[in-house]
Structure 1
Amino acid sequence: PFCSLSTAGVNIAGFDFGVLTDGSQTVSKVYPPLSALGGPDGAGQMSHFVKDDNLNIFRLPVGWEYLTNYNIGTFDTTKLANYDQLVQACLSTGATCIVDIHNYARWYGGIIGQGGPSNASLVQLWTQLATKYKDSTNIAFGVMNEPHDLDINMWAGTVQLVVTAIRTAGATSQMILLPGTGYTSAGSFVDNGSGAALSKVKNLDGSITNLIFDVHQYLDYDYSGTHTECVTDNIYSAWQPLATWLRTNKRQALNTETGGGNTASCEQYLCSAINFMNSNTDVFLGYVAWSAGSFDSTYELDLTPTLSGSTWTDTALMKACVAR
């Protein structure tokens, strides 16, 4: 479909495999979406998505445990280099590349800055990542995937520390994605206080330039993104109220996870949701669908294209709604 949103793309998953919602990760379950590391050809997928589907943003989820090999403070040099191969493959397409720490605001069950690891631990992680990527203007920093069940005002304080650290490290121009609680759901972002709390987060100079709210929304009956059938486009329950709030508060959001099965119901409702975003581009920057990368056709929300010879073939939902 025609798309006027500034960004549209897809998640390239695999480095996040093995992460649970309590923030623990079984690193042996990681399946890098890189043929050089024995996995699927994520680089080829991204190149295809840019060239053939007119997509221009990819989210690259990774587990905190993977990057540090279970040592919370220090990067594992080999594993960081592995992940960086995916980042560089993404950057080489000219797309925006979101570095996403996929840990639910947790490390082995403990909430960051709220009884679990210290805020300083997350600040250290992001200082190192921002230092590494400060000269890459097409990098975006996804502070944390899907925080949940935490004190939102305390969490906003943690996010502020991360933003300050990223900017201080020299990454002054890149987009930073600010996630709320409730799995950063678009439908509860205002009501659960995430919008108000995160509105207080500022850049070093007090501005909000390139500080973008990070929201997710699924379309199945329990909004979990685990079923192949969709039942709603979420316009009246989530997207319309959020658009109104963003407009009133002069802010913008990016939908970094949405999707569904390769089914008629999901084609209907996801296309409808994307069309709504297309009509509200002053407040919505775009969408990043879930997910391609190391998933295959056995996964309910699979968007991974298949390669035959030199020809990539997209899934039904990718063709119908996500590509443009």
Structure 2
Amino acid sequence: MLSLLFKLFVFVHAIHAYNTPPRQVSFAGTNLAGFDFGNKQDGSVVASEIVELTGPSHGTALPVLEQMHHFISQGLNTFRLPVAWQYLVNYQLDGILNATGNFGVYDKLVKGCLDAGAAMCIIDVHNYARWNGHIVGQSGSAADRPENRHLGSLWWQLAAWYKDEKRVAFDIMNEPHDLDVGMWAETVQWAVNSIRNATGSNEHIILVPGTDFCSAGSFTRMSSEALMKIFNLHKYLDHDASGTNFECTTNNIDSTFAPLAKWLRANNRRAMLTETGGGPNAESCLKYLCEQNDFINANADVYLGVVGWGAGGFDPAWVPRYNLTETPIQEGNELCDQELVKKCIVGKFRGVTGSGSYVAP
């Protein structure tokens, strides 16, 4: 009798395990670069290099709306939409968003993302915490110093424009670096407050940047007052974590994602990986990126999602030579994914639902 009960227990447990879907993050997709082209790490912009993905100067790139619909059809649900701060405000520090100017062209990209059925469309200000060589709230002369109020004004305007569309997420700043952490925390808080004042709610996801190019360790050094909503993390897999090499050397688990997951749980916080990737056909990257993404899926209680880099406005002639390309390949009338995307992005995140409680207290 005892043996029969044990067998019944094993049988029922096996059925339960079979019917329980594997753990998975809520959001996954790719960056669609172009409006950020020409952005330099000192916060300056070469305007002639910007590719207006939804404008007349989109170049020879595969149409971005076609790329969006392709990735949605593959079961992904998230796009990060990098853009230069200067472009949005017509290169005026005190500039106003103009629906008939540059902002109107970028807005077409955001609307295209929403219309494609994405669960999250991330507005990413891609300026490295700077405006034309000066750190926001920290450097520059009186005439050209970017103040907290300038960044706050930009985010107030963006949040007011998209306040009724809860699928739009706000990525306050791409890869801040080489700055005073305490002062930067105040700048981030200023932007967060501006967004909340504009929307009148806390229903939009805000991606909060740390320092050191959004490295994992920088979050634990920020004060508790600055720990707002979802931490924004970037992590590549090559030997210097720069994302500039074709070969990958690590899955980042022991060095980054395991200790960070422990810290996030202990502090009741969540994070989202919004840049990662590797050589599209390198065996080392196929191995390590898939392992990294398996770990992130297994720890979906603290990791909200993964966004690879990148697709968008890259010239097809250059795409095969770009070590981080996730741009689909045109084969006849069909789009086919890069091997890395097929196995480690779509293969790991197909069917992400965008559901769940994902705003940390």
Same fold (TM over 0.5): yes
Summarize the alignment of residues 145-164 of structure 1 with structure 2, pairs less than 5 Å apart. Answer: 145-164=174-193
User: Which one of the candidate residues 240, 247, 264 is aligned to 1:229?
Assistant: 247
1:196 to partner: Cα distance: 4.4
Correspondence for 1:83? 106
Correspondence for 1:108? 132
1:75 to partner: Cα distance: 3.7
Correspondence for 1:133? 162
The Cα offsets for residues 203-224 of structure 1, whole Å up to 9 and x where unpaired, read as xxxxx5xx10000000011100
1:310 to partner: Cα distance: 3.2
Does the CA contact (< 8 Å) of 1:303 and 1:314 recur in 2?
yes
Q: Which amino acid aligns with 1:224?
A: S
User: Which one of the candidate residues 253, 271, 283 is aligned to 2:271?
Assistant: 253
Q: Distance in 2 between matches of 1:38 and 1:20?
A: 20
Q: Distance in 1 between matches of 2:166 and 2:223?
A: 24
User: Which one of the candidate residues 145, 150, 159 is aligned to 1:121?
Assistant: 150
The Cα offsets for residues 218-243 of structure 1, whole Å up to 9 and x where unpaired, read as 00111001111100011111111100
Does the CA contact (< 8 Å) of 2:214 and 2:234 recur in 1?
yes
User: Which one of the candidate residues 49, 64, 67 is aligned to 2:71?
Assistant: 49
Summarize the alignment of residues 9-28 of structure 1 with structure 2, pairs less than 5 Å apart. Answer: 9-28=29-48
CA 1:110–1:35: 2 relative to 1, 3 Å: closer
Summarize the alignment of residues 1-324 of structure 1 with structure 2, pairs less than 5 Å apart. Answer: 4-34=24-54, 37-39=57-59, 40=61, 41-51=63-73, 53-75=74-96, 77=98, 78-95=101-118, 96-116=120-140, 117-170=146-199, 172=201, 173-186=203-216, 188-189=217-218, 194-197=219-222, 199-201=224-226, 211-262=229-280, 263-295=282-314, 296-323=319-346, 324=350
Q: 3-state DSSP class of the match of 2:45?
A: coil
Does the CA contact (< 8 Å) of 1:65 and 1:71 recur in 2?
yes
Q: Which stretch of structure 1 is more off in the superposition, 289-298 or 220-229?
A: 289-298
Q: 3-state DSSP class of the match of 1:72?
A: coil
Q: 3-state DSSP class of the match of 1:215?
A: strand
Q: Which amino acid aligns with 1:110?
A: H
Correspondence for 1:205? none
Q: Which amino acid aligns with 1:32?
A: E
CA 1:3–1:302: 2 relative to 1, 3 Å: farther
Q: Distance in 2 between matches of 1:267 and 1:3?
A: 21
Does the CA contact (< 8 Å) of 2:97 and 2:157 recur in 1?
no
Does the CA contact (< 8 Å) of 2:36 and 2:84 recur in 1?
yes
The count of corresponding residues between Structure 1 and Structure 2 is 310
1:68 to partner: Cα distance: 1.9
Does the CA contact (< 8 Å) of 1:131 and 1:171 recur in 2?
no
Does the CA contact (< 8 Å) of 1:27 and 1:69 recur in 2?
no
Q: Distance in 2 between matches of 1:281 and 1:270?
A: 16
Question: Which entry has the higher C-alpha Rg, 1 or 2?
Answer: 2
The Cα offsets for residues 1-27 of structure 1, whole Å up to 9 and x where unpaired, read as x77111111000000000011111101
Runs (4+) of structure 1 exceeding 4 A deviation are none
CA 1:256–1:7: 2 relative to 1, 3 Å: same
1:171 to partner: Cα distance: 5.6
CA RMSD in angstroms, aligned pairs only: 1.6
Correspondence for 2:356? none
Q: Distance in 1 between matches of 2:58 and 2:183?
A: 41
Q: Distance in 2 between matches of 1:171 and 1:136?
A: 13
CA 1:128–1:266: 2 relative to 1, 3 Å: same
Q: 3-state DSSP class of the match of 2:122?
A: strand
Does the CA contact (< 8 Å) of 2:174 and 2:209 recur in 1?
yes
Does the CA contact (< 8 Å) of 1:229 and 1:261 recur in 2?
yes
> Which structure 1 residue ranges, 5 or more long, are not aligned?
203-207
Q: 3-state DSSP class of the match of 2:226?
A: coil
Q: Distance in 1 between matches of 2:174 and 2:249?
A: 24
Q: Which amino acid aligns with 2:177?
A: H
Q: Distance in 2 between matches of 1:232 and 1:168?
A: 42
> Which structure 2 residue ranges, 5 or more long, are not aligned?
1-21, 141-145, 351-361
Q: Distance in 1 between matches of 2:310 and 2:36?
A: 12
Does the CA contact (< 8 Å) of 2:55 and 2:105 recur in 1?
no
Q: 3-state DSSP class of the match of 1:115?
A: coil
Identity %: 48
